[in-house]
Amino acid sequence: MTAPSYPKAHAELLERLRQRQALIGVVGLGYVGLPLCLTYAEKGYRVLGLDIDQSKISAIGEGRSYIQHIDGGRIKWARQNGRLEATTNFACAAEADALILCVPTPLNQYREPDLSFIRDTMAALLPYLRAGQVLSLESTTYPGTTEEELRPLVESQGLVIGETFFLVYSPEREDPGNAHFNTATIPKVMGGSTSACTEVGVALYEQAISEVVPVSSTQAAEMTKLLENIHRAVNIGLMNELKPLADRMGIDLYEVIRAAATKPFGFVPYYPGPGLGGHCIPIDPFYLTWKAREFGMHTRFIELAGEINTAMPAYVVQKTVDALNEVGKPLKGSRVLVLGIAYKKNIDDMRESPSVEVMELLREKGAKVQYSDPFFAAFPRMRRHAFELSNTPLSAEALAGADAVILATDHDAFDYELIAAHSRLLIDTRGRFAPGAQVVRA
């Protein structure tokens, strides 16, 4: 690849995007960035992946996947067909016609937005931005980030947004492990800084993704993503609030939700669980809470849902303590087998997993904790938690050897008949088993 010797005008960029001649740069090759690279490559574009993590670059170079649900064959194919290159050398960004940012946006220790990854990425890219490029931010963030953080940086390079350079925000809606939708088939919301930017943004995404949904501004696009995740967090919070109530009333909440879901309009089923997990739902809503303070507003639903959802691991542990007590055992010294440590079923992602919180609380109270999860041969190293554990394969002996078994993540790979047949005491946080003498809903 050679550096471009001339800037491209608006029309030229549109043409290159529409003709699939554009070089698509994707920055941040994680759960969002890697499938995006492959989607563009499979639609006929050449793709340049940029990351600071050399191990990912090496894996791509070798045609190997480092994410469980992404088939390495796709990477191999893209490599063999000259569609995908990956590097840590940000100077190559100058060659790209489009730069799509998919870097993390976590919360800091005060539960406030941590934009350091976006800022670091922009600092690394800035010397290589040039006229005729489009920059799209996909990381989840609060409304205003694109205009307040990215725009001034781009303009500091003498580039004119909407004339020589194009800036858009388009939230990622990746749902790892979803068998029905993938990057190419999930409609893509997108808002540009100016109408020319929006036009370029449509051209950037319309070839690769089945439906592009333009909105009037980058702020509207940013808020759309937060609304989706807030809607989910609040509704799961509502179910988690009703869970202990239904339990005390002797009502099966899952039966109720399933019955309510037969209403053909006006009801969307959400399910309770052991707490929220993943990179998005426990985190993203607080991006809006933080931004709302600037406007003198409070987001009470978000705070309340957060409070209820984060109390769930303690609820699961309390139900375990009570259930063991019923059979004359203290939690201290009891063997507890936790089934599933991924934050949701059928994936190998543990970020913010409530299972970890449950395991931590159990261990604090003196339980002997083991886990079984086919996606993790060993308990991964985490920033805030340390378990020197390896996977306990699911077996009749392992189940029967535990004083309590907690179903935390209901992977399809688990043998549920085996679990039901051999668990002496089963704490079910996912509504998989009918409540009974040995089964406690939590």
Identify which range of 41-49, 120-128, 318-326, 357-365 contacts ligand NAD by CB under 6 A: 120-128
Identify which range of 50-58, 211-219, 258-266, 310-318 contacts ligand NAD by CB under 6 A: 50-58
For residue 140, state whether it binds ligand NAD (rule: CB under 6 A).
Answer: yes
Q: Which of 71, 120, 397, 415: binder of ligand NAD (CB under 6 A)? A: 120
For residue 33, state whether it binds ligand NAD (rule: CB under 6 A).
Answer: yes
Pattern of binders to ligand NAD over 8-27, x per CB under 6 A? Answer: -------------------x
Quick one: 111 or 263, whose CB is closer to ligand NAD? 111
In terms of DSSP bridges, do strands 165-169 and 188-192 run parallel, antiparallel, or are they unpaired? antiparallel
For residue 183, state whether it binds ligand NAD (rule: CB under 6 A).
Answer: no
CB of 75 to ligand NAD, least distance (A): 14
Task: Specify burial of residue 12 (Cβ count, 10 A radius: 0-12, 13-18, 19+).
Answer: middle
Quick one: 52 or 420, whose CB is closer to ligand NAD? 52
Pattern of binders to ligand NAD over 268-287, x per CB under 6 A? Answer: -----------xx-------
Report yes or no: 41 and 83 within 8 Å, Cβ to Cβ. yes
Report yes or no: 225 and 284 within 8 Å, Cβ to Cβ. yes
Q: Which of 13, 14, 23, 30: binder of ligand NAD (CB under 6 A)? A: 30
Report yes or no: 339 and 409 within 8 Å, Cβ to Cβ. yes
Q: Which of 25, 31, 45, 430: binder of ligand NAD (CB under 6 A)? A: 31
**How distant, in Å, are the alpha carbons of 33, 254, 282, 385 from that of 231?**
25, 20, 12, 29
For residue 98, state whether it binds ligand NAD (rule: CB under 6 A).
Answer: no
Identify which range of 138-146, 327-335, 338-346, 418-426 contacts ligand NAD by CB under 6 A: 138-146
Q: Which of 12, 61, 70, 117: binder of ligand NAD (CB under 6 A)? A: 117
CB of 258 to ligand NAD, least distance (A): 26
Query: 310, 292, 284, 270: which is closest to 230 by C-alpha?
Result: 284
Query: What single-letter amino acid sits at 65?
Result: S
Closest-approach residue to ligand NAD (CB) = 30
CB of 434 to ligand NAD, least distance (A): 32
User: Among this protein's residues, is 197 annotated catalytic?
Assistant: no
Sign of CA dihedral 295, 298, 302, 308: positive
For residue 186, state whether it binds ligand NAD (rule: CB under 6 A).
Answer: no
Sign of CA dihedral 436, 437, 439, 442: positive
Q: Which of 39, 105, 289, 409: binder of ligand NAD (CB under 6 A)? A: 105
Other beta carbons less than 10 A from residue 107's beta carbon: 16
For residue 247, state whether it binds ligand NAD (rule: CB under 6 A).
Answer: no
Report yes or no: 273 and 240 within 8 Å, Cβ to Cβ. yes
Identify which range of 31-39, 266-274, 379-387, 393-401 contacts ligand NAD by CB under 6 A: 31-39
Query: 197, 301, 192, 315: which is closest to 246 by C-alpha?
Result: 315
Strand 404-407: give its sheet, edge to edge.
Answer: 368-372, 335-339, 404-407, 426-428, 439-441
Q: Which of 48, 102, 135, 236: binder of ligand NAD (CB under 6 A)? A: 102
Q: Which of 16, 38, 41, 51: binder of ligand NAD (CB under 6 A)? A: 51
For residue 299, state whether it binds ligand NAD (rule: CB under 6 A).
Answer: no
Catalytic residue from among 92, 102, 197, 280: 280
Task: Specify burial of residue 239 (Cβ count, 10 A radius: 0-12, 13-18, 19+).
Answer: buried
For residue 66, state whether it binds ligand NAD (rule: CB under 6 A).
Answer: no
Quick one: 213 or 311, whose CB is closer to ligand NAD? 213
Q: Which of 8, 10, 16, 56: binder of ligand NAD (CB under 6 A)? A: 56
For residue 305, state whether it binds ligand NAD (rule: CB under 6 A).
Answer: no
Identify which range of 46-54, 68-76, 268-276, 372-380 contacts ligand NAD by CB under 6 A: 46-54
CB of 285 to ligand NAD, least distance (A): 12
Q: Kindly list the catalytic residues.
A: 280
Binding site for ligand NAD (CB under 6 A): 27-33, 50-53, 56, 102-105, 117, 120-121, 124, 138-140, 172-174, 176, 279-280
